[in-house]
Amino acid sequence: MFIGFSEAELFLRNCEDAVIITHRNPDGDCIGAGFGLKDILAQLGIRSRVICHDGFPARYSFLTSEGAGEEFEPKTIIAVDIADENLMGDYKDIYGDKVQLCIDHHISNKNYAEKTLLRSDATAACEIIYDLAQYMGVKITRHCAMCLYTGISTDSGCFKYDCTTPRAHEIAAEMMRSYDINFARINRYMFDVKSLGRLKLEAMVNELMEYCLGGRLAIAAVTQDMMKDMGVSMEELEGFAPLTIQLENTEVGILMREREDGVFKCSFRSANDVNVSAICQSIGGGGHAKAAGCTIDGPLEEAKKHLIAAVERALS
Amino acid sequence: MFIGFSEAELFLRNCEDAVIITHRNPDGDCIGAGFGLKDILAQLGIRSRVICHDGFPARYSFLTSEGAGEEFEPKTIIAVDIADENLMGDYKDIYGDKVQLCIDHHISNKNYAEKTLLRSDATAACEIIYDLAQYMGVKITRHCAMCLYTGISTDSGCFKYDCTTPRAHEIAAEMMRSYDINFARINRYMFDVKSLGRLKLEAMVNELMEYCLGGRLAIAAVTQDMMKDMGVSMEELEGFAPLTIQLENTEVGILMREREDGVFKCSFRSANDVNVSAICQSIGGGGHAKAAGCTIDGPLEEAKKHLIAAVERALS
Ligand SMILES: [Mn+2]
Ligand SMILES: [Mn+2]
């Protein structure tokens, strides 16, 4: 059932011993939303614990270091930034059908929870939680402000992408004025700082990039052999697809990664108006207009030809 | 003489045939401020022309394509985003001592104009111009909003850096609500899109990076020979210094570029709290706490040793 702020407030003010679930491969938004909500519940005298199938990466320790909360038998199950209970990982079996409140901004939300506070026009779950705290009249802490800022900033690409709302900017302004958060340092760690490994992988992907269709398509393929040579896994190459559309005239970018079974996992990106979801659907995949994917069998050169032909059809 | 909004309004409402000067190596802020102010003057029925020693780069054509203004004998001289008349290039000789109004946000402003509207706490000159238009009650156009957004976004690193003010966020929110500007496309072209040449130079600089002092210092040196090999000039390597501090543990980064006379121009960056201005001052240079510079004679290896020693002294 979809609910509004007043019902969400009623729920939160009357809950006890809450577990707050965040999604697998946690990002700034679910971590910020989880730890931010934990702070808000603490203001209300309610104890809670934030959990994640994958734990919390070290780069978010500036938000998580105060601890995710003590152990207790949960009486309340809350999910934040989780559109689908399958994104809970192992926690799906324990809590998947017991979520009482879900706070989310994904239009694809499966409505799996008892009550869902969904605002699909929000930049981030953190934007909803900030507005909810304001609505409830809870004065948030500086730590909570840092959590919520981080979620808004990371999900919007530092206010860069289409999904950025005017409200996201207004909240950032309010947080800077009222809480003196060290936003520049947060943004440096979220956006500018890289590991040496990441730097080397970026160099590799850039090196591999081929430009086709008069430069309108850029395609890079990373094979299992290359991954073994570099000592990296498929997962470590997650998030490199945007590199394929950094060139001025590129309209579509594809990053191909070979799985152990020789099948290529392909991530498509669109720089402007080309709908890559439609292209992927035409070859058995799917996704969003600007970010989509498919799988395709090897060998590499044939697979590439197939992909290039599909893009060519879409561009003509 | 430093003036406030009321006097700036009086000046603008009563001026005629204005030339608006922007600084050399024009950036998003001076171009946005120049073309934004031109729009505002047009609303008041005043014609103006935006000029720049270097012309306006093609990547800003989404702001400049309507034209910089017709030719006329100027009766009013305005400078935007120019702290020092030396930044006018050839226009210094013609207009340097004749500027009647300067609108600027640089604390280093030399107060060279007859009247200067200086707000050194503003993110960008465009932030001042937006607030001035509001103060004057001038309804800006969508094109003007795009100009001013571009200046605020580029000077703040897309709201990422320390210099971002709460007001910058508020203005962005107002522009998004009222003018439906295509901010995501602006940001893509300002921040994400690169030329193939730039991509290759980045790869080169990353390749050249050496890590010293236990990784706390990163240093990259580009020699004249390398520039000749790559077919690039010193100027094209402008703006690569931030690459030196992209690694997690780096505290100080130095990009060295060899001039034709064999002297190395060195750009320092600080990732966190180290004051690189102080380091540069200790070896005859200067600048800001987080971005500073100096020159040093070759040969390269000796110059490098000298720089490393200066950084080591500061870190200990
Ligand atoms: Mn998320
Ligand atoms: Mn400037």
Contact A194 B248 (CB under 8 A): yes
CA A316/CA A294 separation, integer angstroms: 21
pLDDT in tens, A52-63: 999 999 989 999
Pairing assessment for the beta strands A264-270 and A291-296 based on DSSP bridges: antiparallel
pLDDT at A193: 87
* pLDDT score, position B231: 85
CA distance A257 to chain B (A): 22
- Digit-coded pLDDT (tens) for B59-100: 899 999 989 999 999 999 999 999 999 999 999 999 999 999
Tell me the C-alpha distance between B241 and B236, whole Å.
Answer: 12
Segment A2-28, tens digit of pLDDT: 999 999 999 999 999 999 999 998 999
- DSSP states along B211-249: EEGGGTEEEEEE-HHHHHHHT--TGGGTT-GGGGG-BTT
Residue B312 is predicted with a pLDDT of 97
Chain A interface includes B299 (CB < 8 A):
no
Ligand index nearest the alpha carbon of residue A83: 1
Enumerate residues with CB within 5 Å of ligand 1 (an ion). Answer: A 27, 29-30, 81
pLDDT, tens digit, for every residue of A268-294?
999 988 999 999 999 999 888 888 999
As a whole number, mean pLDDT of residues B3-21 equals: 98
pLDDT-wise least confident of A3-12, B148-157, B232-241, B303-312: B232-241
- Give the minimum alpha-carbon distance from B228 to chain A in angstroms, rounded to a whole number: 21
Give the C-alpha separation, B191 to B112, whole Å. 33
Residue A109 has pLDDT above 90, yes or no: yes
Under the banding of pLDDT at 50, 70 and 90, the label for residue B201 is: confident
Q: Which helix (H) or strand (E) holds A291?
A: strand A291-296
Q: Which residues in A lie closer than 8 A to residue B162 (C-beta atoms)?
A: 184
Q: How far is B247 from chain A (nearest CA, A)?
A: 5
The distance of B112 to chain A (nearest Cα, Å) reads: 32
Place of tokens 């707050």: A20
**Rounded Cα distance, A149 and A144, in Å:** 8
User: Considering CB atoms only, which of A162, A169, A199 is closest to B184?
Assistant: A162
Q: What is the pLDDT of residues B242-273, one digit of tens each?
A: 999 999 889 999 999 999 999 999 999 999 88
Cβ pair B176:A196 closer than 8 A: no
CA distance A94 to chain B (A): 37
Q: Report the C-alpha gap between A110 and B180 in whole angstroms.
A: 31
The model's pLDDT over A134-181, given as tens digits with 9 standing for 90+, comes to 999 999 999 999 999 999 999 999 999 999 999 999 999 999 999 999
- In tens, the pLDDT along A224-253 reads 999 998 888 887 887 899 999 999 889 999
The structural domains of chain A, ordered by start, are 5-190 (3.90.1640.10), 196-315 (3.10.310.30)
CA of B237 to the centre of ligand 1 (A): 37
Q: Is A185 on the interface with B (CB under 8 A)?
A: yes
Helices (H), chain B: 5-13, 28-43, 61-64, 91-95, 125-136, 142-155, 166-179, 183-187, 196-208, 224-230, 276-282, 300-315
Q: How far apart are CA A232 and CA A196, in angstroms?
A: 13
Q: Using the beta-carbon criterion (under 8 Å), do B166 and A158 form an inter-chain contact? A: no
Question: Does residue A177 belong to the interface with chain B, where contact is any CB pair within 8 Å?
Answer: yes
Interface touch B176/A199, C-beta < 8 Å? no
Search chain A and give the residue with CA nearest B156: A184
| Pairwise CB contact (< 8 Å): A173 & B174 | no
Structure ipTM: 0.89
CA of B269 to the centre of ligand 2 (A): 18
B244 vs A contacts (CB less than 8 Å): none
* A199 has pLDDT over 90: no
Contact A45, A17 (CB under 8 A): no
